[in-house]
Amino acid sequence: MAGARRFGETALILLAIAVRVAAVLVLRSYDVSRSTYEHGEIAANLLAGHGFSMRFLGAEGPTSQQAPVYPLCVAAAYALGGVGTPRALLILELGQSVLGGLLVWGVLRLARLVAPGHRWLAAVAGLVVAVHPTLVYAATHVQVATLGTTVLVWTLAAGYQAGATGRPRDAVIAGGWLALLALTDPILSLASIGVAWAIAQGRTGVPGRRRQSFRLTTLAIVTGLAGIAPWLARNVQVHGELVAIKSTFGYAFWQGNCALSEGTDKVRRSSVDRIVERSRTAASLSSLNRMLWTARHEAGYLDDIALTRADYRLLGSVTEPQRSRILFHRALAELRAEPWRYLRLCLRRLRYFLLFDETNPKSRVWAYRVAHLGLTLFALAGLLLASPGVRSRLLPTIAIAAALTVFHTLTIVSARFHIPIEPMMALWGAAGLTRWEAGRGGRSTPAPHHVEGIRVIHGLGLVEQRPSLDSVP
């Protein structure tokens, strides 16, 4: 049985890699110009000896516009294939295809920790993550989504593991994953809520559970803070003040809420609509992809229409964190002038996040919408049908998804921001099978720390029950 399980899981991991490699080779996004954005500029400057720097809002120099991990990955691809060349982007995208296999592996592990007695839950969740179009398509882009999503899943799995075993070592590992997650995409560090919950949930029924949960959570958080400390120290040295990994919260809030914004960082143009209409007659997937990229470039960023030359001169004359604060306060002033507009923007962003971002040409094609809606319905049905015990075990993942949804509803939204939630949605949908398994006489295996080992104390005639770690994956 164990051998068959390992074979099936290996097959799913290889399937995930294969479909992503196929997408990379068929869509040929690595041939698309102007597709690397800030990550490519920072990577090029790193290799040129200029450090972690770029031109941002009117000034060029050391930056915290992006978290450090992904630009370093892009720089590694540039070092192998040449700065900004199709060969380098192909190397990067193939690497992200392999990362898709690691994502599926993480989902399989997370599923076993959430519901160790339900073998079909892991298999179905892994299969969905392996082939879901949005997750596959993300591997063909120079964006942090694939890496951030993979690290998020492994971080959450580490939290469940620490709660199941109660070992300080596992709490330290969870903290290490939290640090890597924050340095990849600091918004995803909201996952610390779910990690803390998973640890506390795993200690349920254990003597001194509150004390143990507090100790393990504190150990994970301290480890995570130690992991990001070097980058924070670098930011203080570069900017003259503490910057929490990225300097761009105020800038992003302005993009999502200024007077010209529709809740995202993109511009609605009639020319984009015409390109999207033409894309429906594309002769091949690669030509469709190229036309969608053309539409994306045509849409541009909100900065293109909302910032004047005078604005750039002003912003370029102050430090990077000050630029972000200036734009943040400008957005707040414009919102105060129209008090109800912020509520309307938040409701629009919530709709864009849960359904479809109308400002993004790529989320307006039928293939995206069918896949997105299908996964959403699958997740909702799974949560409704899941056995109560498994649904309860999924609460940390639901808390993370809710926190990310609220954050983006209040600030700014984009289709790519939804990607980290999708593996958890696959898990929720697969959880519906637990009701079917129970109906066929299956049993719900408790969390690993509830599996009791029995030891006879010889000579006293006593029996001692103690937690067993044998079932921890």
Strands 462-467 and 452-457: antiparallel
Q: What pLDDT is recorded for position 375?
A: 97
**One digit per residue, pLDDT tens: the chain, 473 residues?**
677 778 889 999 999 999 999 999 999 999 988 889 999 999 999 999 999 999 999 999 999 999 999 999 999 999 999 999 999 999 999 999 999 999 999 999 999 999 988 888 999 999 999 999 999 999 999 999 999 999 999 999 999 999 999 999 999 999 999 999 999 999 999 999 999 999 999 888 778 788 999 999 999 999 999 999 999 999 999 999 999 999 999 999 999 999 999 999 888 888 877 887 887 777 788 888 888 888 888 888 888 899 999 999 999 999 999 999 999 999 999 999 998 999 999 999 999 999 988 888 888 888 889 999 999 999 999 999 999 999 999 999 999 999 999 999 999 999 999 999 999 999 999 999 887 765 554 444 444 544 433 343 333 333 434 444 334 44
Residue recorded with tokens 């094609």: 365
463 residue type, one letter? V
Q: Burial of 356 by CB count in 10 Å (0-12 exposed, 13-18 middle, 19+ buried)?
A: middle
Residue recorded with tokens 């604005």: 311
Q: What pLDDT is recorded for position 471?
A: 40
Residue ranges of alpha helices (H) inside 185-319 are 192-202, 209-239, 249-257, 270-279, 285-299, 303-306, 309-316
Strands 53-56 and 59-62: antiparallel
**Calpha distance 343→336 (Å, rounded):** 12
Contacts of 440 (CB under 8 A, 6+ apart): none
Question: Cβ–Cβ contacts within 10 Å for residue 240, how many?
Answer: 12
What b/e sequence results for 256-283 when a residue is b if at least 16 CB atoms lie within 10 Å of its CB, and e otherwise? Answer: bbbeebbbbbbbeeeebeebbeebeeee
**Calpha distance 91→230 (Å, rounded):** 29
Q: What pLDDT is recorded for position 464?
A: 39
